[in-house]
Structures are given as C-alpha cells and as structure tokens.
Structure 1
Amino acid sequence: MFVRSLSLGVAAAALMVGGASAADLIIPTTPQPIYQAAGFDWEGLYAGARIGGQFVGTSAPGFANQINNTTYGVVGAAVGVNFIPVDPILVGVEVTGDYLWGNNVTSSSEFFANLRVGAVVTDAALVYAIGGVGVSSTNNTSTGVFQLGGGVEFAVTDAVTVRGELVGQGNLNNNGGDFFKAAKATVGVFYHF
C-alpha cells in the first residue's frame, strides 16, 4: 500500500510540475516588420494644369504665324500616362493644350502630342526629356510645329506633383532660319490617379 501511495504522490507531483512549466514555455516568434512607406508611384494616369510664358524670337520666317520678338502668357492643361519598364527609367505619353495671349496681340492656341523619357532620381523627384509634334493656330491659320526640351517634377503628396518645364519650339516646315524659333517655360500642378 505504501508503494501505491508513493506512486500516486509522484504521479500527482509530476502532473503539477508539468503544468507549471507549460505556463513558462517560451515560443519563438518572428518579429513583425516595421512598415516603410513606398516611394511615390510615378506609374499610371495623370492630369494637371499649368501656367507660364512663351517668347517668340526674331528669326525669319517667324514661328507659327505669331509676331516676332513677342512674349505671350500661357495657360493650359496636360493629360498623360507613365510607365517604368526598368527602374529608374520612366517612359510616358502626354497630350497638352495651351492658350496663349499677349498685349495688343492676337491670341493663339497650341496642341501637342509628346513623348517623355526620364529617370526617377529619388522617390519624390523625376528628371525628364520631352519631345513632341503638334499644331499652333493663330488668326484661323494652323501651322505644324515641334518642341524639344526637358523638365523636373517633384512629388508633394502621395498623389500630387509640381513640375517645371522648358522647351524650344520650331516649325515643321522650317524654310530656313533658326531651328528653334520660340521658347516656352511652364510651371504646373498634376494629380496622379
């Protein structure tokens, strides 16, 4: 009987010790990663508005039926789409429309289809080159034109960017004279969808 009591006592003690050590068991876990916000997403559709100025030079023949040696105000809009085929290279297609006006000068309008190629320098900064062809209309006369230039764009929120751009412009039917007959500088705000 003593052996049986001793066996039951040892079994009860073993069960109590096992329960106590189960509560102190340390289970290794993997730590949760710290959330790091991704950089600005340059890919996708965007639209925006811009303002600036255009200076028409003194080269003969003039630029797109506009008055030589004249500065125009510019207000316009742009819609485009960007792709990043290989990081950090950005490729995009953009359509722009601008209204030009000046003192005692007939207003005109310009529409361009552009290609953009750039590099995402930092998560929030893009440097790019732009080139396109289009049409400039002044006094009910349209002229085929081109533009080449570049710009820089900065992300200010997770969907809004600010852009500065400078392009040289010329006539498609150059007919002699300077290659670039006008220069346009714009600053714009864009929303990325």
Structure 2
Amino acid sequence: MFVRSLSIGVAAAALLAGGAQAADLIIPTTPQPIYEAAGFDWEGLYAGVRAGGQFTGSDASTYATVPVNTTSGVLGAALGVNFIPVDPFLIGAEVTGDYLWNSSATNSSEFFANLRAGAVVTDSVLVYAIGGLGTHNRGAVNTGVYQLGGGVELAVTDAITVRGEIVGQGDFDGAADSFFEGAKATVGVFYHF
C-alpha cells in the first residue's frame, strides 16, 4: 500500500509540474505594426544638371540676338525648392543657368528665375507647368527674356529624379514679333535633399 501511495503521489507531482511548465511556455505578445513605405517626398530643396537643345524660329525678328533658324546645344544646372500646400498640388521656385553653343562664333548663356506649379499624379510622378523671367547674354549684349512651358518628373530612387521639360521662349526687345520666338527642350537628373 505504501508503494501504491508513493506511486500516485509521484505521478500527481509530475502532472502538476508538467502543467506548470506548459503554462510558462505561453508568452503573450503584441503584434508588430505593419510598415508601409511612404511615396517619394517631393517637398524640400533640390539641385541638378540638365542637357538639351534650343531652337529659334524662322521669323524675321530674332530671339535675344540669336540668328533665325539656329539650333544650339544646352548644358545647365538648376536649384530649387518645392512645397505641397494641399495634396496633391505642388508649388515651387527655381533658378536655372544654361550655357548655349552653336556653329556661330559667339556662344551665349541664360539665367532664369522660375515658378513651378503642378500635381503629384502618383507617388513617383510629378506633372508641372513652369514660367520665368531672365536674361540672355550673347557677347556684350544682355537681353531680357521670358519662358513658359511644362514638364514631367519621375522619381527613380528615394532621392533622385529624372525630368523632361520643354518651354517656349521670347524676349523683351520691343519688336512686334511672335510671343514665342524660340523653344528649349531639356532632360535632367536631380537630387532631392
């Protein structure tokens, strides 16, 4: 009888100890939040480089002393800042400087102060309109100029975008000529800080 009582006691102790260990293995946890990456951040400062071409019309008047029917190469840089006051609308300010060369002996440069307004179509695509005032420098002659156009900018990484832009250009030389006397098309790469 003693052996039987001892066996029942040992079995009961083993069952109670096993139950206590099993209860210790269950550890309540809270689930980890699911992180969803945000889209490209279009707001803030950016800088970049661009290249393209400038084309003047066949009009009798010239664009900023550039001869008619002239095609020039363009290398330039831009620095700007964007704001999104209300999603998806974007506004911004930008300054550009371009060096222009062609087959004539005198190369030129252009500097513009621009305003941009656009819409973020998807997280990585921006469509915008641009307009600005500036100066065209050819030799010793400086001419006041303006531009108006638009472009598309695509985010390719978290900080880098690629942009294509086309603008119509005119000057303030006082002649009764076309509103747009030339056009400039550029493609650029930009870094957003």
Write the deviation string for residues 132-191 of structure 1: whole angstroms up to 9, x where unpaired: 000001121001000000000001111111000000000134421110000000000001
Partner of 1:23: 24
Partner of 2:86: 86
Does the 8 Å contact 2:75/2:98 carry over to 1?
A: yes
Partner of 2:37: 37
How far is the alpha carbon of 1:24 from its aligned partner? Answer: 6.2
Q: Matched residues in 2 for 1:174 and 1:164: separation?
A: 31
Q: Give the alignment's TM-score, normalised by structure 1.
A: 0.86
CA RMSD, Structure 1 to Structure 2 (Å): 2.0
Q: Matched residues in 2 for 1:21 and 1:69: separation?
A: 88
Partner of 2:172: 172
Partner of 1:112: 112
Does the 8 Å contact 2:49/2:189 carry over to 1?
A: yes
Identity %: 67
Greater displacement, 172-181 / 161-170: 172-181
Greater displacement, 15-24 / 129-138: 15-24
Partner of 2:126: 126
2:152 aligned with 1:152: yes
Q: Give the alignment's TM-score, normalised by structure 2.
A: 0.86
Partner of 1:66: 66
How far is the alpha carbon of 1:61 from its aligned partner? Answer: 2.2
Q: How many residues align?
A: 181
AA matched with 2:156: V
Write the deviation string for residues 102-157 of structure 1: whole angstroms up to 9, x where unpaired: 01341110000000001111111110000000000112100100000000000111
| Structure 2: 5+ residue stretches without partners | 1-8
